[in-house]
Structure 1
Amino acid sequence: MDGLQPDPGKGDVLIVDDTPNNLHLLSSMLEELGYEVRCASSGAMALMAVSTEYPDLILLDISMPDMNGYEVCQHLKENQATQEIPVIFLSALSETIDKVKAFQLGGVDYITKPFQIEEVLARIENQLALRRMQIKLQQAEAEALRALEQEKELNRLKSEFVSMVSHDFRSPLTTIQGFAELLRCSGQVPDLETVNHYVDKIDVAVEHLLCLLDEILLLGSIEAGKLQYQPMTIDLKSFCQELIETLQVSTNSSHQICFTCTGNSTQAEMDTLLLQQIFTNLLSNAIKYSPTAGQINLNLECSEMLAIVQIRDQGIGIPLENQPHLFDAFYRCHNVGQIKGTGLGLAVVKRCVEAHQGYITVESQEGMGTTFTVTLPRYAQLSDHSLA
């Protein structure tokens, strides 16, 4: 044993042998060298030990009563969760046929008894080194696949962005240009009513452009991880009431927004900028896709740790086949008709909800209205973080 030095944290080894002396000898040597060691004296105990915690490697005796090593190995290799655990067989069986069977069942090595402890240790270390390398390769492959998928998604978003910009920017710009041209080239000074009409049309187009630009910039900041999550203490009830009042004035909407609140306390720690994006987008959509003068319900329910907000409308609803893609950037449902939109609002909402460590769900039936449910922790995480 000269020259072998302890190395803490080298790996977790499960030794399976029905001979107590073998268990004691192997476990004491491996523990001395820094391995975490567990022992099992039967095949059934081995499978139970593996199910409790996966080892990095198994030393497995073949000749055991009730369930031999071959059967144990077969059970392990048939289970997807354990089939990658390296198994080194230990056996007094030295015939070639025994070794071939061991390898056919998935064993990575075969040591014949009586064994030299140095040989066992060397083979264990070799297999663990191979296993560590295999895991690193699998992780690298998974990371490469993630990067590839991200690149594909980025290319898709770029393509959709160009398509969206060419349409959604061109439309209001054409409106602005057209009415400006009418003001310039009417041949006579237009009356005040006509001027106001043209200016109103231009204002609407400018407002649409500004909203579109704000959504693009916000989504871009979130995707780039540049927008900081900055919680502050607020009263959610007051926040919702003020937001509803502001929204009804700014949209000049005839819709009735009914607000209800339950819970003993409505104080919370949240990012007001992101919270405003969540509620404004959801309420604006409810107004946009609901019949004129329709009713919209906003319900706030505060429990000890959670704030649950439901926004329910009686609008056109969302087709079932569109719902899985509802929060994708630039995605619009096929039943929106001529109703204007960018396909960015709900993507922004989802990311703002996730920034609060919350989640959003939707229930909808085409022609029957939609209910969005936003669940948020009332109290922010202690550490600041950027959105990504």
Structure 2
Amino acid sequence: MANILIVDDVAENLQILQLILRNEGHKVFAAISAEVALRIVTEHLPDLIISDIKMPQMSGLEFCKELKESAATAQIPIIFVSAQSDTDNIVAALEVGGVDYITKPLKPAEVIARVNTQLKVIEAHKLAVRQHLSHVMNQMVVGVAHEINTPLGTAITAVTHFESILNELRSAFDNQTLSAEQLSVGFEDSQESVGLCERSLVRVAKFVKMLKEIAQVERPSCPRDINVNEFCEKLKERWNNESVKLELHIYAHMLKADDEVLSTVIDNLISNSLAHGNLHGSKPITIEFNKAEHGVQITYYDHGQGLQNLTVEELLKPFVTTKRGNAGHVGLSASVTANLISNALYGSYQIFEQGRGLEWVIEIPSEAG
């Protein structure tokens, strides 16, 4: 049964509600005022609240508004009780976040029916959340298993083949039948096996690095003032040895953000462009830093082939990639990048395809974090 908080400044009304609800097996907390109710909510988070509207000092509507301002209590459904049944009062109760309205005098059957309706809604929501979480977890587990097992299986096969080559060479050496040609072929085959093993393990390492980046979303953000010119110099140094041209336009010279997370975001965008963008000729990847009304806008475009028949929604789904099976292309970069922007940088993003390849427009607020 449910934990229900009832709030009314008239003791007789509290007694009636307690009797009705306890007969149904619910655990009931009673408060003679909204102020007392707020204290109870912090100690015993209820599943449902039934509150009178007209109370001295803090009204039921004000009580509801205060609960809705806190993330911890915003989702608690509130049924209002009042002797007034006019439309204006009902509308006012629903506008502040109430889910239902009961008029006095209280009728036990009506109270029970309305309470049961809300409890069914709560259970349906919990079930939907559990089902969605289960689906997401299953999808993630299958994706992680595939992205790790495939290269590990390849690496094991390569090592096994390498071992068989060594056994053949050792056997020929022991039997004094080892020829120069056999040794040369053995070395070539060994190099192929070692190279395949190395590429596969590098893929696993990149995937693990990506998982660590996902964890950055959950860690506490550490925003600080960033000199954009210095940030861009470090960016160019990191990509100096790669086959990529960066064109940087700086029109906003300071921004406030977690520099480690911002670096991860930009690096992910560049890596994704190199892996998937099929960049055209000598055109560079362009990154612009512009002043925005409430912070800094970062515009990124790569002059590549864009979304390649994917929708933006598909691009942001975990494990969606145009290069499934190729080393390093695990289909998480865009999803991770979007989450880092929204949750770790407290920013927003838009993704376009307007003749300049894939284009991200990122807004970083001036008071991030």
Q: 1:308 aligns with which of 294, 297, 301?
A: 297
Are the aligned partners of 2:347 and 2:363 in contact in 1 as well (CA < 8 Å)? Answer: yes
Q: Once the 2 structures are TM-superposed, how far is the Cα of residue 341 of structure 1 from its aligned partner?
A: 0.5
**Aligned residue for 1:150?**
133
Amino acid at match of 2:248: F
- Which runs of structure 2 are paired with 1:228-243 in the superposition (5 Å)? 228-243=220-235
Give, in whole Å, the separation in 2 of the partners of 1:34 and 1:332: 55
Amino acid at match of 2:232: C
Q: 2:339 aligns with which of 351, 358, 361?
A: 351
Q: Once the 2 structures are TM-superposed, how far is the Cα of residue 177 of structure 1 from its aligned partner?
A: 6.4
Q: Once the 2 structures are TM-superposed, how far is the Cα of residue 165 of structure 1 from its aligned partner?
A: 2.5
Amino acid at match of 2:206: C
Name the count of aligned residue pairs: 296
Give, in whole Å, the separation in 2 of the partners of 1:294 and 1:337: 28
Q: Once the 2 structures are TM-superposed, how far is the Cα of residue 124 of structure 1 from its aligned partner?
A: 7.2
Distance 1:316 1:160, change over 3 A: same
**Aligned residue for 1:244?**
236
| Alpha-carbon displacement from aligned partner over 1:327-380 (angstroms, at most 9, x marks no partner) | 2221113x7896851112122212211221112221126x96211222222433
| Alpha-carbon displacement from aligned partner over 1:61-115 (angstroms, at most 9, x marks no partner) | 7xxxxxxx7xx69x98xx9999963354xxxxxxxxxxxxxxxxxxxx8xxxxxx
**Aligned residue for 1:331?**
320
Amino acid at match of 1:207: V
Over aligned residue pairs, what C-alpha RMSD do you find? 4.6
Distance 1:208 1:152, change over 3 A: closer
Matched, 1:139 2:122: yes
Matched, 1:273 2:313: no
- Which runs of structure 2 are paired with 1:179-218 in the superposition (5 Å)? 187-188=182-183, 204-218=199-213
Distance 1:257 1:159, change over 3 A: same
Q: Once the 2 structures are TM-superposed, how far is the Cα of residue 142 of structure 1 from its aligned partner?
A: 1.3
**Aligned residue for 1:377?**
365
Distance 1:241 1:260, change over 3 A: same
SS at match of 2:364: strand
Amino acid at match of 1:242: K
Are the aligned partners of 1:307 and 1:376 in contact in 2 as well (CA < 8 Å)? Answer: yes
Give, in whole Å, the separation in 1 of the partners of 2:191 and 2:325: 29
**Aligned residue for 1:46?**
none
Give, in whole Å, the separation in 2 of the partners of 1:364 and 1:206: 34
Matched, 1:290 2:312: no
Distance 1:172 1:83, change over 3 A: same
Distance 1:372 1:188, change over 3 A: same
Distance 1:306 1:336, change over 3 A: farther
Distance 1:146 1:203, change over 3 A: same
Distance 1:338 1:222, change over 3 A: closer
Are the aligned partners of 2:290 and 2:297 in contact in 1 as well (CA < 8 Å)? Answer: yes
Give, in whole Å, the separation in 1 of the partners of 2:11 and 2:273: 74
Distance 1:169 1:293, change over 3 A: farther
| Alpha-carbon displacement from aligned partner over 1:7-38 (angstroms, at most 9, x marks no partner) | 2137344xxxxxxxxxxxxxxxx647986599
Are the aligned partners of 1:31 and 1:37 in contact in 2 as well (CA < 8 Å)? Answer: no
Are the aligned partners of 1:60 and 1:87 in contact in 2 as well (CA < 8 Å)? Answer: no
- Which runs of structure 2 are paired with 1:65-104 in the superposition (5 Å)? 85-86=100-101, 88=103
Are the aligned partners of 1:57 and 1:128 in contact in 2 as well (CA < 8 Å)? Answer: no
**Aligned residue for 1:56?**
80
| Alpha-carbon displacement from aligned partner over 1:211-238 (angstroms, at most 9, x marks no partner) | 122113433x358x4x343334432332
SS at match of 1:285: helix
SS at match of 1:144: helix
SS at match of 2:240: helix
Give, in whole Å, the separation in 2 of the partners of 1:37 and 1:305: 33
Distance 1:169 1:372, change over 3 A: farther
Give, in whole Å, the separation in 2 of the partners of 1:319 and 1:304: 33
**Aligned residue for 1:106?**
none
**Aligned residue for 1:116?**
none
Distance 1:193 1:187, change over 3 A: closer
The TM-score, its normalising length taken from structure 2, stands at 0.62
**Aligned residue for 2:173?**
none
SS at match of 2:334: helix
Give unpaired runs (5+ residues) of structure 2. 1-9, 15-30, 35-49, 63-77, 170-180
Give, in whole Å, the separation in 1 of the partners of 2:286 and 2:360: 11
Q: 1:8 aligns with which of 33, 40, 54?
A: 33
**Aligned residue for 1:342?**
330
SS at match of 1:11: strand
Q: 2:145 aligns with which of 137, 142, 162?
A: 162
Give, in whole Å, the separation in 2 of the partners of 1:128 and 1:34: 24
Distance 1:234 1:31, change over 3 A: closer
Give unpaired runs (5+ residues) of structure 1. 14-29, 39-53, 62-68, 89-108, 110-119, 382-388
Q: Once the 2 structures are TM-superposed, how far is the Cα of residue 131 of structure 1 from its aligned partner?
A: 4.6
Give, in whole Å, the separation in 1 of the partners of 2:162 and 2:299: 41
